[in-house]
C-alpha cells in the first residue's frame, strides 16, 4: 500500500511542478524520469473538457458574475465611479461568455461544442459530381442481346 501512496504522491508532485510553470524537461530531470513519462502523468491528471464540463463552468461563472454585479451595481448607483467601472466589466464579461458581443447572424450557443466537417477535397467533389451525373443518366444497353431502351422510351427486340 505504501508503494501506491508513493507513486500517487510522486505523480502529484510532478503535476504540481508543471502547474508552477516548470518545463517538462526540467521536471523529468528533477524526478529522474523521461519527458514522455512526465507528459503521460500530466495528461492523466488533467480532466478532459467535455460539453457537460463546459456547461457547468459557464453556469458557475455566470453565478459568480451575478453576485459581483449585485454588489458593484448597488455601489455604482450610489455614485461610486470605481464600482461603476467594475459593474461594466462584469457586464462585458457576461456578454462575452454568452456570445452576445458577436453579431446575431454568426452567434452560436457558447456552450455547445460544434464539430465542423473538414472541407471537401477536390477529389471528393469530383467523385460526388460524377455520382450525380451517373444517377441522372439512363442505363446503357448491356450488350447481351436483351431488350434495349430506345431514346423514345420504347424497347426493341
What's the pLDDT at 71?
92
> For the segment 79-125, what is each residue's pLDDT rounded down to a tens digit?
999 999 999 999 999 998 888 877 666 655 555 545 556 678 889 88
3-state secondary structure of 155: strand
What's the pLDDT at 35?
94
For residue 143, pLDDT beyond 80 = no
Higher pLDDT pick, 92 / 140: 92
Q: Tell me the pTM.
A: 0.45
Q: What's the grid cell of residue 29?
A: 530531470
Q: Indicate the Cα dihedral angle 100, 106, 111, 112, nearest 10°.
A: 160
SS3 content of the chain, % helix, strand, coil (to 5): 60, 5, 35
Q: Which residue has the cell 462575452?
A: 96
Q: What's the grid cell of residue 115?
A: 464539430
Amino acid at each position: 500500500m505504501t508503494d501506491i501512496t508513493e507513486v500517487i504522491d510522486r505523480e502529484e508532485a510532478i503535476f504540481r511542478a508543471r502547474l508552477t510553470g516548470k518545463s517538462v524537461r526540467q521536471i523529468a530531470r528533477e524526478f529522474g524520469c523521461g519527458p514522455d513519462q512526465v507528459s503521460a502523468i500530466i495528461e492523466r491528471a488533467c480532466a478532459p473538457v467535455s460539453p457537460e464540463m463546459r456547461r457547468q463552468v459557464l453556469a458557475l461563472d455566470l453565478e459568480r458574475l451575478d453576485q459581483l454585479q449585485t454588489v458593484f451595481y448597488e455601489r455604482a448607483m450610489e455614485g461610486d465611479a470605481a464600482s461603476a467601472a467594475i459593474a461594466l466589466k462584469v457586464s462585458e464579461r457576461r456578454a462575452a461568455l454568452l456570445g452576445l458581443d458577436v453579431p446575431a447572424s454568426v452567434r452560436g450557443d457558447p456552450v455547445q461544442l460544434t464539430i465542423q466537417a473538414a472541407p471537401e477535397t477536390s477529389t471528393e467533389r469530383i467523385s460526388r459530381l460524377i455520382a450525380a451525373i451517373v444517377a441522372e443518366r439512363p442505363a446503357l444497353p448491356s450488350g447481351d442481346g436483351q431488350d434495349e431502351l430506345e431514346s423514345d422510351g420504347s424497347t426493341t427486340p
